[in-house]
Amino acid sequence: MRKPITVMFGATIAGLAAYALYDAFWGPQPEVLGYGQVEAKSRYDANRIERPRIRDMRRGDVRYREVELPGGAWIACEKDCAETYRRRHMDLYETIHDEAG
C-alpha cells in the first residue's frame, strides 16, 4: 500500500523540478522597472550608515524588489530592502550569531 504513495510523491517532485527548469530557461525574462535608494543603519555600529541601490523588478505577473550588495550582486528584498541589506551585508556575522543561538 505504501508503494502508490511513494510513486505519487516521486511524480510530484519530478513535476515540480520540470516546472522549475522550464521557468528558469523558458519563462518570462525579468524586467527592471526602476531604480531607487534606501538608507540602511547598522544595529551594532551607530556610525555606520550605507545607502545601497534598489530596483523594482517584474517577471511575468510577479513584482518584487532587489537590493544591490557590494560587488554588484542583486538579492531579493525579504520585506524591507534596508533590513535585508543590513542583515545580509552590514551586520552579517551578528545576524548569523543571533539566528544560531
pLDDT of residue 8: 78
pLDDT of residue 64: 97
Residue 40 C-alpha cell reads as 540602511
Average pLDDT over residues 64-83: 96
Say whether pTM exceeds 0.75: no
pLDDT of residue 99: 87
For residue 79, CA distances in Å to 3, 8, 21, 65, 92 come to 41, 35, 26, 9, 17
Bigger pLDDT: 35 vs 23:
35
pLDDT of residue 3: 62
Bigger pLDDT: 23 vs 89:
89
**Phi, then psi, of 57 in degrees rounded to 5:** -125, 155
Above pLDDT 90, what percent of the chain? 66
Return the beta strands (E) in the chain as ranges: 31-37, 40-41, 49-50, 53-59, 62-68, 74-76
Q: Taking 70 as the threshold, does the pLDDT of residue 2 lie above it?
A: no
